[in-house]
Amino acid sequence: MQLVKKSYTAETDENLMREVIKGNNLAFSEIYDRWSKPMLNYFYKMLWQDREKAEDFMQEIFTKIIHKPQLYNPSRAFKTWVYSVANNMCKNEYRRAEVRKGTSNSLHDNIIVHDSSAPDKEHDKNIFNDRLKEELELLSENHKKTFILRFKHDLSIKDIAEILETSEGTVKSRIFYTLKKLGKNLKEFSPVAKTIMVGMCLIELVQCII
Amino acid sequence: MMEDRNISKMDVEFYLLNREYDKLNSDELAIVNEHVESEQEFNEMKAVVMGAGNLFKEEKELAPNPAIKVALLKEFDKQQPAGAYWLNGIFTSLFPKEKKLFQKPGMQLIGLAASVLLIVTIAFNGKTDMNNSKLAQNKGVKSEEETVEEHSKLDRDEANEEKNLEKNDFQPTVELIEKDIEVATLNEVEIEEKPESVENKGTTADFMYDAQSIESVEADLSIAADLDYRRNDNNLHASEESFKKGVLKDQRKGCYIR
């Protein structure tokens, strides 16, 4: 099979896109296999954890690649290009959501229902994760995007700046602001807070014994 | 993860991920304190960074519905007519845009085909056009018939040469003999005439003449003897030469036979 069909697994995204522009469906299939999952999860995180919406958006981005592959400039990194397209799609969706919000008050409430799905309160870690998810949802779109691109998709400051069409300084400042805000809101999970809480519990226990 | 994100040591994030606040040295502390107000704030931020990393790692990633891929591939095939890719692929591989004209495989193939065509045309069609006056002809090359004719001519020439040689071998001796005989006869005639004159005249002058004539006769006789000697010598040489030539001819013939 290898003799008949060329394997594209070792090819870079940029080379694959060159092939896609030429009309190679195997290259397109490879690109889809590589990027469908990250795109789906990005849209899921950015679009109020709505799986259906995320899948629609993911399909839309690949449809764009099929119909207008020439929009991609092979001299640019595919990773940043695809995230910037996804980011623009999210921006448009936020605008549409704002318009809808004016007509319907219950839109976001319905979508964010997934956010609090079955949290396991038995472990601190799970509690922290749930709280973090909640806090992330409360962040502004730009701060949330920056945070997700940085900590979920492991992108560099430079790439994030390119995707969000902003400066690296702005990206750094957004990350720092988000960390500070989340840290403040989740301070009960910080190691110091934990030791203080443990200490307070111990004092209470001693007082009870006495 | 740290390498993927390209975290600089000038970023607080680096220290949040890798250091405890109380283990920071003075330089590191100076960098951290530019952004963080207190140890507590540092620890709160550290908890978020570590927690977010764990959250996203552990979080179950959504997998796309396989039907989406099928639908997209169908869409892709609709967009690209069947076979177009392969034609495009062939064309682009033969004439890549990024290469120079003479470096394009297509151009190289065309050049190769043209040179092969030229060679074939010259090699095979050249023979049929040998009589074409417009083309340069190599007259130095002879056909087999011509070479056979030449060989037969050579044989004939050799045969003639042999004959001539045979003739030449004997001719000089015959001439010499004839000349010698002439000389000898002339001398004899002279000798014969002189006694007649002696008998008729009988004077001292005649005697003297006779004496001279005797001397001349003697001289003539010695000349004749010399001539005889030379003649014999010549005959000997001629026979030797003819013998040698005969041997050479035999040798040549032997070569041809081989």
Position A150: which residue type? R
**Closest chain B residue by Cα to residue A49:** B62
Report, as an integer, the average pLDDT of A158-186: 90
Cross-chain Cβ contact A150/B5 below 8 Å: yes
Per-residue model confidence (pLDDT) at position A108: 46
* Environment class of B107 (CB within 10 Å of its CB; exposed 0-12, middle 13-18, buried 19+): middle
Domains of chain A: 1-117 (1.10.1740.10), 118-210 (1.10.10.10)
Q: Does A199 touch chain B (CB under 8 A)?
A: no
* Angle in degrees, CA A115, A116, A118, rounded to 5: 125
Cross-chain Cβ contact A190/B43 below 8 Å: yes
How is chain A split among helix, strand and coil, in percent rounded to 5? 75, 0, 25
Q: Does A166 touch chain B (CB under 8 A)?
A: no
DSSP string, B121-180: HHHHHHHHTTT-TTS---TT---HHHHHHHHHHHHHHHHHHHHHHHHHHHHHHHHHHHHH
Per-residue model confidence (pLDDT) at position B151: 84
Per-residue model confidence (pLDDT) at position A6: 63
> Considering CB atoms only, which of A44, A154, A175 is closest to B1?
A154
> A61 falls in which pLDDT band (50, 70, 90)?
very high
Alpha-carbon gap, residue A146 to A137, rounded angstroms: 13
Residue A33 has pLDDT above 90, yes or no: yes
So where are chain B's domains?
Answer: 12-58, 66-128, 146-257
Per-residue model confidence (pLDDT) at position A116: 42
Per-residue model confidence (pLDDT) at position A114: 42
- Of A23-32, A109-118, A122-131, B231-240, least confident by mean pLDDT is A109-118
Going residue by residue through chain B, which has 258 residues, state the pLDDT in tens, using 9 for 90 and above. Answer: 444 456 666 677 888 888 888 888 888 888 888 888 888 888 888 888 888 888 888 778 889 999 999 999 998 988 776 555 555 667 777 777 667 788 888 889 999 999 999 998 888 765 555 666 666 766 666 677 778 888 888 888 888 888 887 766 555 555 555 665 666 555 555 555 555 544 555 555 555 555 556 666 777 787 887 787 877 877 787 777 778 777 776 766 665 544
Interface contacts A/B by beta carbons within 8 Å: 132
> Considering CB atoms only, which of B13, B61, B64 is closest to A175?
B13
Which residues of chain B have a CB within 8 Å of the CB of A5?
A: none
Q: Which DSSP symbol is given to B38?
A: S
Per-residue model confidence (pLDDT) at position A89: 92
User: Cβ(B99)–Cβ(B108) under 8 Å?
Assistant: no
